[in-house]
Amino acid sequence: MRNETKREPLFHITKRSVLPWYKAWGIRGGAIVLALIVCALITTLMTHQNPFEVFATIFKASFSTQRRTWVLFQNIAMLLSVSLAVVPAFRMRFWNLGAEGQMLVGGLATAACMICLRDVFPNWLVIVCMVISSIVAGAVWGVIPALFKAKWNTNETLFTLMMNYVAIQLVSYFIIVWEVPKGAGKIGIINQSSQIGWLPSIGGQKYLLNIIIVALLTVVMYIYLNYSKHGYEISVVGESERTAKYVGIEVNKVIIRTMILSGALCGLTGLLLVGGTDHTLTTSITGGRGFTAVMVAWLAKFNPIWMIATSFLLVFLERGAGDISTNFGLNQSFSDILSGIILFFIIGSEFFINYRVSFRHASKQEGKAHV
Amino acid sequence: MDKAIAVEMRHITKRFGSVAANNDVSLTIRRHEILALLGENGSGKTTLMNMLSGIYFPDEGEILVNGKPVVIASPRDAFNLGIGMIHQHFKLVDVLTAAENIILGLEGRKDLKAATARIAEICNTYGFEVDPTQKIYDMSVSQKQMVEIVKVLYRGADILILDEPTAVLTPQETEKLFAVLRNMREDGKAIVIITHKMHEVEALSDRVAVLRQGAYIGEMMTKDTNAQEMTNMMVGHAVALNIVRPEPKDPSPRLEIKNLSVRSDDGILKLDDVSFTVNSGEIFGIAGIAGSGQKELLEAISGLQPIEKGDIIFHNPKKDKPVTFFHKSMKRVRELAKEGMFHDKQGKPVSFDGMSMGEIRKRVESGDVLFREDEIMDLRNKTPLEIRSLGIHLSFVPEDRLGMGLVGNMDMTDNMMLRSYRKGPQGFLDRKRPRDLAEQIIRELEVVTPGTSTPVRKLSGGNVQKVLVGREIAYTPKVLMAAYPVRGLDINSSYTIYNLLNKQKENGVAVIYVGEDLDVLLELADRILVLCGGKVSGIVPGRGADKRKIGMMMTHMGGQTDAE
């Protein structure tokens, strides 16, 4: 038996009890400031630019012109919309990583209506068909993994992920079917002259409709999750399936119902992208938002109202980082580095919210302070 | 007092936030001695021992092992000092064998054969019954515990800490454990057991140390003290240690189980031809080794476990009571009328033939439609929801409080709502009534909590159980099933629960109590059913039952005759 005397360890990590909200947000705010300082240092080291100029660039990327601000809000709206779609599933601890695919099939259904029905139905009826078909398509894409989960307990994370690739291939196929002009390998703007199936723009602002729809959706989702019986069932199933069964909640029914909702909202986002703003269909139209949404939802602790803030933060930083690399003559990878640093600090700050690190000497003093 | 000192803890203080879990505690652990560390829940016993085993680090104070000051910063440090702790929750890998679990995580080459031989040697020395090649999932709780103890011995521990080791054992298994511990004491090991069962302290320990609210109260030699004195020290004031047992008032059959057989998902027969009847107004105790089918029995009754064979018959006490729509749908009322289940106040049969829905509703609401006799309902293979919609009030306090009975991350209001959320306005939740109920439970059961919006997992074990039992009782049950309702609870909370169950019994509820502490079952239950390997080995009256005899019945069939 060894019996050596050791020194007291340098620091201890202890789990915190609940931190008051202002302290928690103080830590998060501090993390963002630290992240910006590190970004500035790295940028200065590599480009020899004034760090304040770098920050100004980040800010200007979103707010220097009215157009840029509109684009910022459009991007926030789209990201938030997907995040709202995945959040009910996440609250149920059903890891829906298939938002990309569900959005794509929603967009595909929208494009199909715009292309195939333009000569058959009047404009309003085409739009009605677009809305219905995109929602149904997304819901179907979402409910398939849920059915398998309910029936055979398959792993939803892998399943939803795989469904993304199926959706991408499906969209690639139809792009070739509908390509304009033949051999171009892309669809181009659909119904550019007739504008059939284009969602109406409010007050001449092409993005306003999307923003309003998503704002409404946020409020509705918040109420649904926190004040409806469905939302309560989702939470119970997510926290403990055994408790859910014990009180007579039909777990499979809740899983299927919630994934229909989740998929349907992803499909709707696809509609807003294809019918509302882009008026075309590509395999990259989703812009990876289905995955970014995971982060938006987690950072906001699955709270739809906080998700407004987290999606703003992510979009704002992403746009800023993009502009830094172009303005200072750096390539796209540099903006990825900057976004990476910022995210590292934001996610890392959660550790300090949940745990307290006390150093050898500090811990003793703190101990006394409590007496 | 000439026994060698193994560990000395001096002026230890440990705080969590602003709460001092241990405040200036000094404790001496000696070789050749079994020390019982006594204290109610939250008195800091486990925290103190966790500092010895390297899980927590003290804020103040020092620890001496074999007379030398040491720093125990991690479980590895503790292990190097020969300190081993056996936790309440076993940390074993189910799919591995005992020997594989024992050498798991050790450094160096793993020689399973040599390890097996050493394990066998340890088992022989102290009298463990462990088969090194047996898989953990095939083991009983008692065997798993033995593996845990062998594991720390294998790693060279000579200071052993056991955290409530008997909580899951039968009297016979407890005796075996005690025999092993006594052998280890003879071998010069220092042993600490954390417990709050008085009779075990008296039977096993040499010395007792008492903690209360994080502070060290005192210690004495076991032979110089008694249960009453120790309890008073633990609680801080005098407590009455007897449980009241009123005679059942006009019992009538409430729940009849006939030839019930249940198979688990993997095809193992968990209940085999079980039959019994529970009466209203009695506490029906169920005794048995952990895993003898208690869980399956309660889950089968509450509709959570598919039944292979048999019937579960519920007698709804409705004779001469008016029919209401509160629990019965219109459809069900019409069905029952067709079966001739109703009569009016004059005793004439009620028929709804040729009446419209409105007329039937009016007739029923006038209160002139009465049940002819108690309603007999078969609960066989009904889901919990179907049982509820039949208007049957079946309450169930499951063993796994935070994993099944409650949602740990939700607050009290939302946990109250688990049973009642379906009521109220269409689609939306009504949180007002659950919140009122939560406040009522806090008041009446003296739940210690910052408020109704604190997540229940933050409450102490006793308070969690009060919340759960409170909710299940608020549901005005006809049958109340409770699985290990006082497991891990301190004396005061345990008595609160016994009183609540007794009150339900006096209200005519059929109470089914699955217990592990035979002493409590013998004092509380009117009748005791003994399960052994999924079979009924007998039903004995609680008054005047012999503990030893029940212990025999728990371990082998037909124990009654063997015991004679």
How near does any CA of chain B get to the CA of A368, in Å? Answer: 9
Q: Chain B residues with CB inside 8 Å of A236's CB?
A: 407, 410, 418
Domain extents in chain A: 67-306
How near does any CA of chain A get to the CA of B114, in Å? Answer: 21
Residues in chain A: 371
Say how far apart CA B447 and CA A188 lie, in whole Å. Answer: 67
Best CA proximity match to B343, nearest among B335, B351, B332, B333: B351
Say how far apart CA A2 and CA A129 lie, in whole Å. Answer: 78
Same domain as B426, residue B516: no
Q: Chain B residues with CB inside 8 Å of A9's CB?
A: 57, 71, 73
Angle between helical axes of B491-506 and B461-474 (0-180°, round to 10)? 10
Same domain as B428, residue B485: no
Say how far apart CA B309 and CA B143 lie, in whole Å. Answer: 31
What percent of chain B is modeled with pLDDT above 90? Answer: 30
Q: Chain A residues with CB inside 8 Å of B414's CB?
A: 232, 235
Same domain as B156, residue B122: yes
Taking an 8 Å cut-off on Cβ atoms, the answer to whether B404 and A229 are in contact is no
Out of A22-36, A97-111, B59-73, B440-454, the most confident range is: A97-111
Say how far apart CA B337 and CA B359 lie, in whole Å. Answer: 14
Q: Count up the domains in chain B and report the number.
A: 4
Same domain as B482, residue B467: no
Torsion, CA B250, CA B256, CA B259, CA B260, rounded to 10: -130
What is the reported pLDDT for B325? 67
* B246 pLDDT above the threshold of 50: yes
Interface test with A, best of B411, B418, B419, B453 (most A CBs within 10 A): B418
B4 by DSSP, 3-state: which? coil
Taking an 8 Å cut-off on Cβ atoms, the answer to whether B418 and A5 are in contact is no
Which range has the worst mean pLDDT, A350-364, B313-327, B468-482?
A350-364
Q: Is the peptide bond before B434 cis (omega within 30 degrees of 0)?
A: no
Angle among Cα B65, B70, B73 to the nearest 5 degrees reads 120
Say how far apart CA B91 and CA B484 lie, in whole Å. Answer: 22
Same domain as B411, residue B295: no
Out of A239, A247, A248, whose CB is closest to B410?
Answer: A239
Best CA proximity match to A323, nearest among A106, A25, A58, A45: A58
Interface test with A, best of B12, B15, B158 (most A CBs within 10 A): B15
| Any domain includes B99 | yes
Please name the residue that has the structure tokens 């812009």. Answer: A287
How near does any CA of chain A get to the CA of B503, in Å? Answer: 24
State the CB neighbour count (10 A cutoff) for residue A243. 23
Taking an 8 Å cut-off on Cβ atoms, the answer to whether A246 and B398 are in contact is yes
Taking an 8 Å cut-off on Cβ atoms, the answer to whether A1 and B81 are in contact is yes
What is the reported pLDDT for B556? 66
Best CA proximity match to A211, nearest among A344, A79, A357, A310: A79
Taking an 8 Å cut-off on Cβ atoms, the answer to whether A232 and B429 are in contact is yes
Q: Chain B residues with CB inside 8 Å of A7's CB?
A: 71
Out of A85-99, B242-256, B322-336, B457-471, the most confident range is: A85-99
Say how far apart CA A94 and CA B403 lie, in whole Å. Answer: 18
Taking an 8 Å cut-off on Cβ atoms, the answer to whether B404 and A240 are in contact is yes
Say how far apart CA A270 and CA A213 lie, in whole Å. Answer: 13
Out of B66, B303, B419, whose CB is closest to A3?
Answer: B66
Closest-CA residue of chain B to A239: B407
Taking an 8 Å cut-off on Cβ atoms, the answer to whether A367 and B398 are in contact is no
Out of B66, B407, B422, whose CB is closest to A243?
Answer: B407
State the CB neighbour count (10 A cutoff) for residue B348. 9
Q: Chain A residues with CB inside 8 Å of B75's CB?
A: none
B226 Cβ partners below 8 Å, 6+ apart?
A: B202
The domain that contains B292 carries what CATH number?
3.40.50.300
Taking an 8 Å cut-off on Cβ atoms, the answer to whether B17 and A247 are in contact is no
Rg of chain A over Cα atoms, rounded to whole angstroms, equals 24
For chain A, the first-to-last Cα distance in angstroms comes to 38
Angle among Cα A214, A218, A221 to the nearest 5 degrees reads 125
Say how far apart CA B128 and CA B28 lie, in whole Å. Answer: 28
Taking an 8 Å cut-off on Cβ atoms, the answer to whether B427 and A230 are in contact is yes
Same domain as B158, residue B48: yes
Interface test with B, best of A4, A91, A246 (most B CBs within 10 A): A246
**Residue A252: how many CA atoms within 13 Å on its side-chain side?**
9
Low-confidence ranges of chain A (pLDDT < 70): 1-10, 12, 17-18, 359-371
Same domain as B384, residue B424: no
Same domain as B197, residue B109: yes
Tokens encoding B554: 């728990």
At residue B299 the predicted structure's pLDDT band, cuts being 50, 70 and 90, is very high
What is the reported pLDDT for A367? 40
What is the reported pLDDT for B479? 93
Say how far apart CA B30 and CA B45 lie, in whole Å. Answer: 17
Same domain as B525, residue B562: yes
Q: What is the mean pLDDT of residues B554-559?
A: 61
Taking an 8 Å cut-off on Cβ atoms, the answer to whether B418 and A247 are in contact is yes
Best CA proximity match to A321, nearest among A337, A309, A310, A308: A337
* B298 pLDDT above the threshold of 90: yes
What is the reported pLDDT for A4? 42
Q: Chain B residues with CB inside 8 Å of A247's CB?
A: 384, 418-419
Q: Alpha-carbon torsion B379, B383, B388, B393, what sign?
A: positive
Say how far apart CA B396 and CA B399 lie, in whole Å. Answer: 9
Taking an 8 Å cut-off on Cβ atoms, the answer to whether A247 and B18 are in contact is no
How near does any CA of chain A get to the CA of B276, in Å? Answer: 24
The amino acid at B128 = F
Residue-wise burial string across B423-452, b where 16 or more C-beta atoms lie within 10 A, e elsewhere: ebeeeebebeebbebbbebbeebebebeeb
Residue-wise burial string across A167-193, b where 16 or more C-beta atoms lie within 10 A, e elsewhere: bbebbeebbeebeeeeeeeebeebeee
Domain end point (choices B180, B206, B235): B235
Out of A8, A14, A363, whose CB is closest to B71?
Answer: A8
Say how far apart CA A163 and CA A161 lie, in whole Å. Answer: 5
How near does any CA of chain A get to the CA of B299, in Å? Answer: 9
Same domain as B558, residue B466: no
Domain span at residue B367 reads 318-373
Out of B59, B302, B428, whose CB is closest to A367?
Answer: B59
State the CB neighbour count (10 A cutoff) for residue B316. 18
DSSP 8-state assignment for residue B191: E
Same domain as B354, residue B274: no
Please name the residue that has the structure tokens 């940390």. Answer: B91
φ, ψ (nearest 5 deg) of residue A109: -60, -40
Best CA proximity match to B25, nearest among B2, B50, B54: B50
At residue B198 the predicted structure's pLDDT band, cuts being 50, 70 and 90, is confident
Taking an 8 Å cut-off on Cβ atoms, the answer to whether A240 and B57 are in contact is no
Best CA proximity match to B154, nearest among B116, B119, B191: B119
How near does any CA of chain B get to the CA of A225, in Å? Answer: 10
Taking an 8 Å cut-off on Cβ atoms, the answer to whether B65 and A243 are in contact is no
Say how far apart CA B558 and CA B396 lie, in whole Å. Answer: 30
Best CA proximity match to B129, nearest among B116, B143, B115: B143
Out of B81, B383, B406, whose CB is closest to A248?
Answer: B383
Interface test with A, best of B428, B431, B453, B471 (most A CBs within 10 A): B428
**Contact at 8 Å (CB) between B412 and B438?**
yes
Beta-carbon contacts below 8 Å between A and B: 99
Tokens encoding B351: 């028929």
| Any domain includes B47 | yes
What is the reported pLDDT for A139? 97
A245 Cβ partners below 8 Å, 6+ apart?
A: A251, B304, B384
Q: Chain B residues with CB inside 8 Å of A246's CB?
A: 302, 304, 384, 396, 398, 404-405
Say how far apart CA B145 and CA B290 lie, in whole Å. Answer: 13
Say how far apart CA B74 and CA B447 lie, in whole Å. Answer: 35
State the CB neighbour count (10 A cutoff) for residue A67. 9
Tokens encoding B286: 């169920």
What is the reported pLDDT for B562? 38
| Any domain includes B502 | no
Interface test with A, best of B7, B23, B31, B57 (most A CBs within 10 A): B57
Taking an 8 Å cut-off on Cβ atoms, the answer to whether A246 and B82 are in contact is no
pLDDT, tens only, B109-162:
778 888 888 888 888 888 888 888 888 888 877 888 889 999 988 888 889 999
Residues of chain A contacting B, Cβ within 8 Å: 1-3, 5-9, 12, 14, 16-17, 227-232, 235-236, 239-240, 242-243, 245-248, 250, 363-364, 367, 370
What is the reported pLDDT for A369? 37
What is the reported pLDDT for B327? 56
pLDDT, tens only, B93-118:
889 988 888 888 777 777 888 888 88
**Contact at 8 Å (CB) between A307 and A80?**
yes
Can you give chain A as a three-state secondary structure string? CCCCCCCCCCEEEEECCCCCHHHHHHHHHHHHHHHHHHHHHHHHHHHCCCHHHHHHHHHHHHHCCHHHHHHHHHHHHHHHHHHHHHHHHHHCCCCCCCHHHHHHHHHHHHHHHHHHCCCCCCHHHHHHHHHHHHHHHHHHHHHHHHHHHHHHCCCHHHHHHHHHHHHHHHHHHHHHHCCCCCCCCCCCCCCCCCCCCCCCCECCECCHHHHHHHHHHHHHHHHHHHHEHHHHHHHHHHHCHHHHHHCCCCHHHHHHHHHHHHHHHHHHHHHHHHHHHHCCCCCCCCCCHHHHHHHHHHHCCCCHHHHHHHHHHHHHHHHHHHHHHHHCCCCHHHHHHHHHHHHHHHHHHHHHHHEEEEEHHHHHHHHHHHC
Taking an 8 Å cut-off on Cβ atoms, the answer to whether A364 and B59 are in contact is yes
DSSP 8-state assignment for residue B95: T
**Contact at 8 Å (CB) between B434 and B417?**
yes
Q: Chain A residues with CB inside 8 Å of B13's CB?
A: 367
**Contact at 8 Å (CB) between B501 and B515?**
no
| Any domain includes B550 | yes
Out of A5, A229, A370, whose CB is closest to B427?
Answer: A229
Written as one string, the DSSP assignment of B194-237 is EE--HHHHHHH-SEEEEEETTEEEEEEEGGG--HHHHHHHHHSS
Same domain as B78, residue B154: yes
Angle between helical axes of A304-327 and A332-354 (0-180°, round to 10)? 140
Q: Chain B residues with CB inside 8 Å of A245's CB?
A: 304, 384
Tokens encoding B496: 């609160």
Out of A5, A6, A367, whose CB is closest to B60?
Answer: A367
Say how far apart CA A266 and CA A145 lie, in whole Å. Answer: 15
Tokens encoding B506: 């006096």
Taking an 8 Å cut-off on Cβ atoms, the answer to whether A363 and B404 are in contact is no
